[in-house]
Amino acid sequence: MNDSYFDGILHIKTTGEQKGFNASLHYNRYEPTPYHALDELFDHYELDKSDHVVDFGCGKGRLNFYIHHLFRATVTGIEMNEWLYREALENKKRYERKFLVQPARIRFICCLAENYKILPDDNRFYFFNPFSVQIFMKVVQNILCSVEEAYRETDIILYYPSQDYIYFLEDHTPFEKKLEVPLTLLYKHNPYEKFVVYRLA
C-alpha cells in the first residue's frame, strides 16, 4: 500500500513535490518520511498521550497527523516554507473535521527552526535532515537551554541521519544513543535508511 492510500485514511494530502526552492542553502527540499518507515519506527519506539512532539521541517504535516492518530500526543510542526505551511493548515482542517480533534493538540508554526521558542512541555524532537548541521546545532542548543529551565525526559529522533548530526550529538552534547531502528528492506542497500533515537543523559 502506497503513501497516497495512507493519506486517504488520515484525510490529508502530503505527497507531491515542493513548489519553488528554499532561499537558503542551509535548508533542504521537502520530502516526507514514508509511512512504511514510520510504521517500523513505532513498532520499536512508543509515545504517550502526554508527550509533546516537535517536527522540524514538517512540510505538509504527515508525521504530525500520523503521531496524533496513533498516540493522541500533542504535535507541533515547524515549517519555514509558506506554501508548505499553508498546505499543512489545509490538512489540519480536513483531519480535524474527520476525527473531531481539539485544535490545540495539533499546531503548525511558520518560522525558521532556530527561531522557534522551545516550550516547557516539548519533549520529543524529530528531524529528517531538514537543514544543515549549523542550523541543527542552534536548534539543539535551544532544546538544551529549555531543559535547563524546565527539566524533563527529552529525546531527539533522527531519520536518515547525517554523520554531521550524529557526530555533533555524540561528541558535543549530553545526548546518548537510546535506540537504532534499521529499516528492514532498505538498510542492507543503504546504511542511512534507519532511525536513531538519542535521549538526554
Over range 1-14, report the average pLDDT.
Answer: 92
Q: CATH second-level architecture of 30-200?
A: 3-Layer(aba) Sandwich (3.40)
18-73 pLDDT, tens digit per residue, is: 555 455 565 678 889 999 999 999 999 999 999 999 999 999 999 999 999 999 99
**Distance (Å, rounded) from C-alpha 133 to C-alpha 148?**
22
DSSP state of 104: G
Domain residues of the chain, as ranges?
30-200
pTM above 0.75, yes or no: yes
Mean pLDDT of the chain: 93
Upper half-sphere CA count for residue 118 (Cβ side, 13 Å): 25
Greatest distance between any 2 Cα atoms in the chain: 45
